[in-house]
Amino acid sequence: MAKRAPKVDHELCTGCGLCQSVCPTGVFEIKDGKAWVVKPEECIECESCVTNCPMQAIKLVSLEEAGPKP
């Protein structure tokens, strides 16, 4: 079980989909032009989404704080 998972700042997110593309475990889905954290418990804390987001909209937080969830 993941200890940390992503939190997306929807004020910054453009919905580009890169986080969904680079995540090896399917944590994200793009809907209504934003990234949503649909499977936070699947995060393996690889940080690929954090380093690839062009808007620096993602940080890893505690599992409880992760989101936004759909």
Residues contributing to the site for ligand SF4 (CB under 6 A): 6, 8, 13-19, 22-25, 27, 35, 43-49, 53, 55, 57-58
- SS3 (DSSP) at 60: strand
Can you list the alpha helix ranges (DSSP code H) found in 3-70?
A: 18-22, 48-52
| Least distance in angstroms from the C-beta of 37 to ligand SF4 | 8
Q: How far is the CB of 27 from ligand SF4 (least distance, A)?
A: 4
Rounded least distance, CB 65 to ligand SF4, Å: 14
User: Three-class SS of residue 67?
Assistant: strand
Given a contact cutoff of 8 angstroms between Cβ atoms, the answer to whether 10 and 25 are in contact is: no
Nearer of residues 47 and 67 to ligand SF4, judged by Cβ: 47
Q: How does DSSP classify residue 25?
A: T
